[in-house]
Structure 1
Amino acid sequence: MNTNNQAEVTADTSAKRAVMDRLRTTPIDVPALPEIDLDRVIEFEDPIAKFSEMLALVGGQAHVVDDIAEVKTILDQIDVYRDARRVVSNMPEIVEGNLDAQMIDDPHALATLDWTIAKGEFMVAENGAIWIDGNTLPHRVLLFIAQYLAIVVDRSAIVSNMHQAYDRIDRFDGRFGVFVSGPSKTADIEQSLVLGAHGCRKLQVFII
């Protein structure tokens, strides 16, 4: 890069930084959030059944199990799990993986990951979503780069609606967290539905 080009880049970067700094320090008046009457939001008599129904509607599959040993038994019946070569498990006490993500520095090394076994903090019945706390993940990309995803969550950890869900989020430290419901899908191109475009091709949820 010659001196003139370098000067132009430096000036351009400085100008962008000045604009961003000004935006960050400018107070903005925003309207207050509406008050929600929680007595009027939806509740379900059987939230587990509703969760399973909504998860199936978006292409996922829920398994209600009474013993943690059943998780591995069910997974072993799935062809793409039996044939998997690279599995990361954040819950080795339930399902053992064969790849230690803690030992991987570069997330790009996970590009050929077959399965991620993750811990869910709680479920949302109205939309079949599960909240994942980022502190349980050595790399946040584990949720999105694996071909297949399994989430294990406690049966008692469920809310009926997203208002209750956001109240629960406040208990976590906020480093990173995400609602997961799947599998990933898109139909933007020629209105042809593609699974796994932006994440897992199939989601299995084990409710213990």
Structure 2
Amino acid sequence: MSNKHTILSALKQSALDQHAMPAMDVVANNDDLVGQFNASLNTVAGTLHSEGGLAALQQAVDELIQQNMQVISLLDGIKGNRQVPETAHDLADIDYAVIPGDLGVAENGAIWVNQPSHRVTPFICENLILALAKDNIVANMHQAVKQVALQPGELGLFIAGPSKTADIEQALVVGAHGACSLNVYLY
């Protein structure tokens, strides 16, 4: 028997018995989910736009285009000035990416994004814009994880604010590893 098999056999024999996960009954605060979501989003350096819906989003995108910004939109009905490229390498100069959000979480400002096209899009753009239906906000992560699902090969993730780190000299740096800003438009 090889060393690898000897070690794995020993680990298997010393493994603890399986125990059922404890029941977690968390009472959700469903009062003013949009207000809770806004407060949480602010704490993670995101900005909520709750008035005007998709028309306000398209107006904001049009203003960005007038400022010569490169805007890509993966959201049906919102038109940027760049097409979705064949390869992710062609996203390197994108200033703003508009992506649909599937589910918002009021307790922490996180938004579930099921990203079917280029996986790098929310991370490589300078600024991220997410569009989220008002009815798709839940109170907490306990409710959220019950509603999200992925098909094999899909990427899904919770995005909570722009990229940030605080490990350099105890100073918060926004945009260190990805998008420098996050704007969320409710519709």
Deviation by residue 1:12-68 (Cα, 9 ceiling, x = unmatched): xxxxxx89xx79xx797654322122xx33313100100011101111000113442
Any stretches of 5+ residues in structure 1 without a counterpart? 1-17
TM-score, scaled to structure 2: 0.83
* Percent identity of paired positions between Structure 1 and Structure 2: 36
Contact 1:41 1:161 in 2 (8 A): no
More strand by proportion, 1 or 2?
2
Distance 2:36 2:170 in 1: 29
Pick aligned residue for 2:42 from 36, 50, 56: 56
Q: Which residue of 2 aligns with 1:6?
A: none
RMSD: 2.6
TM-score, scaled to structure 1: 0.75
Pick aligned residue for 2:70 from 86, 95, 111: 86
- Give runs of aligned pairs for residues 59-138 of structure 1, distance below 5 A: 59-75=45-61, 82-93=66-77, 95-101=78-84, 103-105=85-87, 107-135=88-116, 138=117
Mean CA deviation greater in 108-117 or 126-135 = 108-117
Contact 1:65 1:71 in 2 (8 A): no
Distance 1:191 1:85 in 2: 33
Any stretches of 5+ residues in structure 2 without a counterpart? none
Q: Mark the structure with the bigger radius of gyration.
A: 1
Deviation by residue 1:138-179 (Cα, 9 ceiling, x = unmatched): 201101110000000111111100000000013x42522000
Aligned residues: 178
Regions of 4+ moved over 4 Å: 26-30
Distance 1:84 1:30 in 2: 58
